[in-house]
Amino acid sequence: MNQQEYIESAVASFRTLLEEQLSRVAAMEEAQGLSGKQKECIRIGIVEGDGIGPIIVSAAEEILQVLLKEELDEGKVSLEKIGGLTIENRLATGQTLPKDTLEAIKKCDVFLKGPTTTPKGGTVESANVALRRALDLYANVRPVAIPEKGIDWTFFRENTEGEYVLGSRGIEIPGKLAMDFKVTTKPGTERIARAAFEFAKKNGKKNVAIVTKANIMKKTDGNFSAICHEIAAEYPDITVEDWYIDIMTANLVNEKIAGHFEVFLLPNLYGDILTDEAAQLQGGVGTAGSANTGDRYAMFEAVHGSAPRMIEEGLGDYASPESILRATVMMLSHVGLQEKADRLAAALDALRARGDVVVDGTPENATCRDFTAALIGALA
């Protein structure tokens, strides 16, 4: 195509994107949340994923079998193994989310998911991005705690918009330019802001930091900040601060100010970056869990990836299951099994404090199996 034909094609593509996003806005505006009716049986999906996923998810499943033995025996909880979300199957079918797998996930109330591999290039996109979109998991919640430094952070990352929603549908004029798109909607921002402020209110938090780059991204980030402030006005007892993403990355490592922050409210990309930094400060991405929640479904996962290099080097058995187990704590709390969540969290904290079972991905230290056995002992 010549340059003018590229421009005309880009304009047509952009019109389609606008129409699709306006339809998504309309759907959000009409959406109704779930009733709070208690279910007779809580269905928990177990999705292994790729790389080290099957190893660490197996550990989490074993812990759930121990921790929820009574509930499983009485039929109050069921664990449902769900296959098909492997990179091999996704590439073979050409589907980011194989239909049968997605339908099985939708039959569950919540699901625990191992890390999945995203191929470079091609049309098969990130399974996580696709799941968040398909299940409308708009709130990515990641807690980070470093008690000895007075740090207790909770991050609320908008999960379905920003740079990620159209990340594979940009425009390119070969040899000339490439453009990707960022999306901020009013209902999408309102619901993540309300989730953050409701959490702060219910948990006695007094500070919410809105993190953007609104001085540069004036339309998208500017609107995100403005809409968050509209919601903040409904919570007069909570202090609201605006920070730019670049200085906030510095604030997290500034011990003079880091302990000041409590709840963070961020668009998608900034939340992705900042939560990895925070997890590293806590002890590494292998120590942090993550919740992806919406009005109907909820997904809980490790913060880290599938670590294909560990598998290639034969070190998969030395993968730490702590991150997926921290996510398991969040999942148990989400479905109302708070006593079980507290027991697991206390056992994980005790194991970390003991320091005699260290899993760091090297054969010089413990295996995933060693960690799981020690944790079961701590739960006894």
Sign of the C-alpha dihedral computed for residues 267, 281, 276 and 83 taken in this order: negative
For the whole model, what pTM was predicted? 0.84
DSSP reduced 3-state for 254:
coil
pLDDT in 10s for each residue of the chain, 380 residues: 888 888 999 899 999 999 999 999 998 887 654 434 457 899 999 999 999 999 999 999 999 999 999 999 999 999 999 999 999 999 999 999 999 999 999 999 999 999 999 887 777 888 998 999 899 999 999 999 999 999 999 999 999 999 988 877 898 889 999 999 999 999 999 999 999 999 999 999 999 999 999 999 999 999 999 999 999 999 999 999 999 999 999 999 999 999 999 999 999 999 999 999 999 999 887 788 899 999 899 999 998 899 999 999 999 999 999 999 999 999 999 999 999 999 999 999 999 889 899 999 999 999 999 999 999 999 98
Residue with tokens 């730490």: 320
Task: Please report how many Cα atoms fall inside a 13 Å half-sphere around the Cα of residue 126, on the Cβ side.
Answer: 13
CA 322 to CA 279: how far, in whole Å?
A: 12
CB 83 within 8 A of CB 116: no
Distances (CA, A) of 339 to 168, 201, 336, 355, 371: 42, 22, 9, 25, 22
Q: What radius of gyration, in Å, describes the C-alpha atoms of the chain?
A: 21
Q: Which helix (H) or strand (E) holds 145?
A: strand 139-146
Domains in the chain: boundaries = 39-137+294-380, 140-284
Pick from 304, 306, 285, 286: nearest CA to 51: 306
Same topology, domains 39-137+294-380 and 140-284? Answer is: yes
Q: What is the CATH number of domain 140-284?
A: 3.40.718.10
Tell me, what's the pLDDT at 39? 72
CB 299 within 8 A of CB 135: yes
39-137+294-380: what CATH class?
alpha beta
Tell me, what's the pLDDT at 36? 41
* CA distance between the termini of the chain: 68
The DSSP 8-state label assigned to residue 219 in this structure reads T
209 token code pair: 């930091």
Q: Within its chain, how far is the Cα of 13 from the centroid?
A: 30
Residue with tokens 């599938």: 306
